[in-house]
Amino acid sequence: MRIKRMLVFFAISLLAIFGLTTVAFSAEALNAYSIWPENWARPMFEEFEKATGIHVNFLRFSSGEALARIIAEKNNPRVDVLFGGPVETHIAGIKEGIFEPYKPPTFGVLAPRFKDPEGYWVGIADDPLVFMSNNKFLKEKNLNPPTSWNDLLSPAYKGMIQMADARTSGTAVTRIFSVIEVFGRDENKAFEYMKKLRQNVQVYTKSGGGGTIPVGLGQAGAGIFFIVDALKTKQEGYDVVISFPKEGIGTSVEAIALLKGAKNPALGKKMIDWSTMPAMQNHYAKYKINFVPAHPEVKTEPSLAEVLKGAKVFPIDEAWAGQNRKKVVERWINEVLP
Amino acid sequence: MSAPTAELNPSNRLRNLLRDPLLLVSLIILWSLLILFILLPLIRLFIRTFEEGGHFTLSNILAILGDPNQRQALWNSLLLGCLVGLCGTALGFLFAFTAVRTNLSKAWTFFLDVSIILPLISPPFTTAIAMIFSFGPRGLITYDLLGIKNFTAYGLHSTLFSETITYFPIAYLTLKAIIAGIDPNIEDMAFSLGSSRWRVFRTVTLPLTVPGLANSILLLFAASLADFATPLILAGNSFPVLPTQAYLQITGLFDIKGGAVLSFVLLVPAFLVFFLQRFWVSRKYYVTISGKVGAKTQVKSVPSWTKYFLLGLCLFISAFILYFYVLLFYASIVQAFGANFQLTWKHYRVVFTEGLKAIRDTLIIAGAGMPLGGIYGVILGYLVSKKIFFSRQAMEIVSMINYALPGTIVGIAYLLFFNDPPIMLTGTAIIIIACYVFRYGPTGIRTTVAILQQIDPSIEEASFSLGAGSGTTFRRITLPLILPAFFAGLGVVFIRSMTAISATIFLISINWTLITVRILEKMTELELGVAAAFSILVVFIVFIVITAISLFLRLFRQPGAPEMASILGG
């Protein structure tokens, strides 16, 4: 009987499916949202597992998305740790009451700008913004690599600049605060500049590094990115050049934070302990992750130090930025984006 | 829907129900599922949109409509939908007409079918990746081939192009069946009355396909209205569209309310299209197949120069589609596209190590959704077309809602409803499976209904009069007849589980993620090689599965049983 056999077959397959879905996740594991791209977060988490035996389940989101998700899940947190991401994200989160303060053993050693006084977040790296341009594009237009924010306003760049969208990307938020800082915190002047820059922008991308490949390919001429993304593009072999504006450019702390109501707080704390120590930060160079380590005892990788030599880089005033983040991003959406 | 027996009055229907406990039980179960997974989430979205501090208010909607940017986004969405509908239908008509009206050889038809099936079984933004490489100031096509320097890859034109290429196969499948159904003898009659070929095309062939054209335009309009991934990558900032805005509002700004309101605005055109399609177009099909088919004649409607011209056009477009996929494959096997063309398997290594969890999750979800979607479609389709009961019509319409709405709305509604008590399902696989089953199950329902309409009710009546209950009759008589519909429904749920993103991107979690979401994430993370490798994998898996299912369908070949290809269109 064909039908009977079919029914038995479906009963068995249904059972098998439910069996499969209910197994999984038996071992104790840490859950995390990572803002670092998967190919950097994964080796770190694997090293962590090697060192501690704790497995990390994680999902990668842009910083805006990660923050939105954690806030949405506030009453029933699905993860223990928010790993990486520019610190504005974490500071915005403090106001939302989503983090649990925790001071790891390294807390005292870290410079003040790498930690929240209460311990709501702790820095694991420093990440300056840079200008990155396509060499062929520069040659064709007879340009030097841009060395001033005003260089980017030149009509030669019309429709050829890519940078990130402040709705989803922390890179964009850091960039906007850099501009505001460059204009001496005169928001009106800063927004006037950004509106002028808008004329030259081809597209605002969803994630911070979204424009690096187009710049590498020559589809765009230049862009403003975090140094990790820019150097990665260069290392892959794209013909790009990195430069810094003489007025200075912001750098953002990459941070880690424990979630309030985390299901595995002890494991989360172990992760924070480990990631703020040289134990993790020594691995940056090995995996070609071009972050500047936050721990004072970890040396910056020589070629990265070479790129940064002579550059005028200033830290964003995180407390001020965190307080004004929402207002500034909204103004950007309304005035610059359209 | 054909009613099996004479219409009964309401009290008789109720008595009927009580006499048939199996029917009653299945109705209760189905209605509970429909209410839980379709109506309640939608009501929650509705409340979220029109409630402020416990009061009913229009201010949220008015705020959106008053904001010139959002109004622009709404207008852009409608414009894009119309253009995709028109362009896609035109392209689909070209292919369908060429395929069935020009006496093509088997080999050519096969080639056209293959190139058309690729966009149907791909994740929605695969063409978008290829577009980024091909167009733009230094694009392979615009610059290297045509020498245009200032071409921009972002905006209406490229979004329209990408969506047209992605969705025109739906138009092709819709129209192919209709054009094939026009008896060449009718054209012959016109010829013998002395008409020219052009006149026959204009006054006979084209008018007969009008309902099909309208249907196809509506289908494509709906598909475009639902697509947020293509505009997310290609629309740029000067051409915002509503689904993308709603997505960014929720994921980027944590404004669930704003996202809900935006997606609610989208609901109006979506429902309009749904009802137009259901109550107007679907009743206008002309039947030209009569019982007496004369000798099959050669189609003469096209002279040979037109045939080669049309074929040339189709081949050009097919070549374009194939070029996209070759490019995608190439990007997946070189170190870094555009910089380092050394061959490597490293992107596939990433897919099968880092990506393994996403692959496993997706396969489990698709595998679980498959039988459930198939069973759901067959049972619901059977009930609404073969049984008379209270709320029959309502059940049929409700079951179609999630299918008709853009995925963004369904995803947001699920997120709102299942994130809080009483039923917390966010973070589970169930919510994703349910989303797929109720969103793509309707294909199985419609196929079941179509097949059952062609089965003589007297077969079942005979079973009843011999004393079999409705359970036995269903199992021994009807089920074997509708097995093809079961496989069709199951196939579509599987394919969409592998390729869809618009609803489920809101529903993934740390425990359950999906390949499509990984692809989007990899694209925004600059890992284009990995994104391409993932896409190729999806196309490969889906291709194998539909081949298996269409072999199965051929095994059960029955009158009214659909071809796999035509199911994909729905």
Q: pLDDT tens-digit profile of B485-520?
A: 788 788 888 888 898 888 888 888 888 889 998 888
pLDDT in tens, B127-179: 887 888 888 777 778 777 777 777 777 889 889 999 999 889 888 888 887 78
Q: Are A223 and A145 in contact (CB under 8 A)?
A: no
Query: Which ipTM score applies to this complex?
Result: 0.78
Give per-residue burial for A286-296: e unless 16+ CB within 10 Å, then b: eebbbbbbbbe
Residue B32 covered by a domain: yes
Are both A88 and A165 inside the same structural domain? no
Tell which of B250, B497, B526, B527 to mutate to test the A interface (max A CBs under 10 Å).
B526
In this structure, of A177-186, A252-261, B304-313, B456-465, the range with the lowest mean pLDDT score is B456-465
Q: What ranges in A57-211 are assigned the alpha helix state H?
A: 63-72, 87-95, 135-140, 170-182, 187-198
Are both B441 and B508 inside the same structural domain? yes
Helix or strand or coil: residue A127?
strand
What pLDDT score was predicted for residue A225?
Answer: 94
Q: Å from A17 to nearest chain B CA?
A: 6
Residue B338 covered by a domain: no
Q: Is A5 on the interface with B (CB under 8 A)?
A: no
Residue A1 covered by a domain: no
| Residues in A touching B376 (Cβ below 8 Å) | none
Contacts for A317 with CB less than 8 Å, ≥ 6 apart: A181
Give the chain B residue whose CA is nearest to the CA of A158.
B150
Tell which of A15, A25, A59, A207 to mutate to test the B interface (max B CBs under 10 Å).
A59
Q: What gap in Å lies between CA A191 and CA A185, rounded to an integer?
A: 11
Are both B92 and B51 inside the same structural domain? no
Put simply, the answer to whether B252 touches A229 (Cβ < 8 Å) is no
Task: Identify which of A114, A115, A109 has the alpha carbon closest to the alpha carbon of residue A297.
Answer: A109
Are both B27 and B153 inside the same structural domain? no
Are both B234 and B374 inside the same structural domain? no
Give per-residue burial for B460-495: e unless 16+ CB within 10 Å, then b: beebeeeebebeebbeebbbebbbbbbbbbbbbbbb
Give per-residue burial for B288-317: e unless 16+ CB within 10 Å, then b: eeeeeeeeeeeeebbeeebbeebbeebbeb
Residue A5 covered by a domain: no
Are both B152 and B221 inside the same structural domain? yes
Helix (H) or strand (E) holding A249: strand A249-259
- Rg, chain B, Cα only: 25
Are both A147 and A206 inside the same structural domain? yes
Q: How far is CA A61 from CA A77, A164, B217, B331, in A?
A: 16, 14, 36, 24
Question: Within chain B, what is the greatest distance between any pair of CA atoms?
Answer: 78
Are both A240 and A285 inside the same structural domain? no
Residue A20 confidence (pLDDT) above 80: no
Q: How many domains does chain A have?
A: 2
* CATH number for B480: 1.10.3720.10
Give the chain A residue whose CA is nearest to the CA of B72.
A338
Helix then strand then coil, % of chain A, to nearest 5 = 50, 20, 30
Residue labelled with tokens 């709405």: B405
Are both B325 and B348 inside the same structural domain? no
Q: What percent of chain A has pLDDT over 70?
A: 92
Q: Which domain holds residue A232?
A: 128-251+312-336
What pLDDT score was predicted for residue B378?
Answer: 86
Tokens at residue B458, please?
């007297």
Residue B106 covered by a domain: yes
What pLDDT score was predicted for residue B291?
Answer: 42
Are both B208 and B110 inside the same structural domain? yes
Are both A49 and A147 inside the same structural domain? no
Q: What percent of chain A has pLDDT over 90?
A: 52
* Facing B248 at nearest CB: one of A24, A168, A239: A168
Angle at B355 between CA B434 and CA A67, to 5 degrees: 70
Residue A228 covered by a domain: yes
* CATH number for A43: 3.40.190.10
Residue A197 confidence (pLDDT) above 80: yes
Put simply, the answer to whether A214 touches B152 (Cβ < 8 Å) is no
Size of interface A-B (CB pairs under 8 A): 153
Model pTM? Answer: 0.82
Q: What is the DSSP string of B183-207?
A: -HHHHHHHHHTT--HHHHIIIIIHH
| Residues in B touching A59 (Cβ below 8 Å) | 508-510, 513
Are both B306 and B407 inside the same structural domain? no
Put simply, the answer to whether A209 touches B526 (Cβ < 8 Å) is yes
Are both B16 and B111 inside the same structural domain? no
Residue A180 confidence (pLDDT) above 90: yes
If one counts every other C-beta atom within 10 angstroms of the C-beta of residue B151, the result is 17
Residue B559 confidence (pLDDT) above 70: no
In this structure, of A118-122, B285-289, B379-383, the range with the lowest mean pLDDT score is B285-289
Question: Which of A63-67, A75-79, A180-184, B443-447 has the largest mean confidence?
Answer: A180-184
In this structure, of A211-220, A266-275, A316-325, B34-43, the range with the lowest mean pLDDT score is A316-325
What pLDDT score was predicted for residue B12?
Answer: 65
Q: How far is CA B36 from CA A149, B29, B417, B508, in A?
A: 55, 11, 10, 19
pLDDT in tens, B426-441: 788 899 999 999 998 8
Q: Are A54 and A17 in contact (CB under 8 A)?
A: no
Q: Are B390 and B31 in contact (CB under 8 A)?
A: no
Q: Are B38 and B434 in contact (CB under 8 A)?
A: no
Tokens at residue B42, please?
């939608």
Helix or strand or coil: residue B483?
helix
Residue A212 covered by a domain: yes
| Residues in A touching B429 (Cβ below 8 Å) | 21
* Facing B510 at nearest CB: one of A3, A57, A165: A57
Put simply, the answer to whether B367 touches A17 (Cβ < 8 Å) is yes
Are both A256 and A236 inside the same structural domain? no
Give the chain B residue whose CA is nearest to the CA of A162.
B236
Q: Is A111 on the interface with B (CB under 8 A)?
A: no
Are both B103 and B231 inside the same structural domain? yes
Put simply, the answer to whether B153 touches A219 (Cβ < 8 Å) is yes
Q: Are A164 and A204 in contact (CB under 8 A)?
A: yes
Q: Is A236 on the interface with B (CB under 8 A)?
A: yes
Are both A98 and A232 inside the same structural domain? no
Angle at B45 between CA B166 and CA B445, to 5 degrees: 55
Residue labelled with tokens 């991934």: B229
Angle at B356 between CA B515 and CA B411, to 5 degrees: 25
Are both A279 and A170 inside the same structural domain? no
Q: Exposed (0-12), middle (13-18) or buried (19+): which is B541, by Cβ within 10 Å?
A: buried
Are both A195 and A67 inside the same structural domain? no
Q: Which domain holds residue B321?
A: 75-288+298-330
pLDDT in tens, B333-381: 988 887 778 888 889 998 898 888 899 999 999 999 988 998 898 889 8
Residue B70 covered by a domain: no
Torsion region of B515: left, alpha or beta (phi above 0 gives left; psi -120 to 50 gives alpha): alpha
Are both A227 and A327 inside the same structural domain? yes
* Facing B510 at nearest CB: one of A31, A168, A338: A31
Task: Please identify among residues 39-78 of chain A the ones whose CB lies closer than 8 Å to any CB of chain B.
Answer: 39, 42, 57-62, 64-65, 67-69, 71-73, 75-76, 78
Are both B19 and B79 inside the same structural domain? no
Are both A105 and A186 inside the same structural domain? no
Contacts for B368 with CB less than 8 Å, ≥ 6 apart: A17, A18, A21, B429, B433
Contacts for B534 with CB less than 8 Å, ≥ 6 apart: B123, B351, B355, B515, B518, B519, B522
pLDDT band of residue A2 (cuts 50, 70, 90) is: very low
Q: Å from A115 to nearest chain B CA?
A: 25
pLDDT in tens, B77-122: 999 999 999 999 999 999 988 888 777 777 888 888 878 888 888 8
Q: Is A199 on the interface with B (CB under 8 A)?
A: no
Residue B300 confidence (pLDDT) above 70: no
pLDDT in tens, B445-469: 887 887 777 677 777 778 888 888 7
* Facing B524 at nearest CB: one of A21, A206, A216: A206
Q: How many domains does chain B have?
A: 2
Task: Identify which of B229, B222, B289, B256 has the alpha carbon closest to the alpha carbon of residue B81.
Answer: B222
Residue B69 covered by a domain: no
Put simply, the answer to whether A168 touches B251 (Cβ < 8 Å) is yes
Q: Å from B27 to nearest chain A CA?
A: 21
What pLDDT score was predicted for residue B164?
Answer: 93
Are both A191 and A328 inside the same structural domain? yes
Are both B226 and B367 inside the same structural domain? no
Contacts for B170 with CB less than 8 Å, ≥ 6 apart: B88, B92, B120, B216, B219, B220, B223, B569
Q: Å from B160 to nearest chain A CA?
A: 17
Q: How far is CA B5 from CA A295, B15, B20, B460, in A?
A: 81, 15, 16, 12
Give the chain A residue whose CA is nearest to the CA of B141.
A219
Residue B496 covered by a domain: yes
pLDDT band of residue A24 (cuts 50, 70, 90) is: very low
Q: What gap in Å lies between CA A268 and CA A257, rounded to an integer?
A: 9
Q: What gap in Å lies between CA A202 and CA B528, rounded to an integer?
A: 20
Q: Are B179 and B100 in contact (CB under 8 A)?
A: yes
* Facing A21 at nearest CB: one of B69, B336, B368: B368
Residue A43 covered by a domain: yes
Tokens at residue A72, please?
């949405």
* Facing B429 at nearest CB: one of A21, A39, A65: A21
Q: Are B486 and B443 in contact (CB under 8 A)?
A: no
pLDDT in tens, B184-196: 777 778 788 887 8
Are both A168 and A298 inside the same structural domain? no
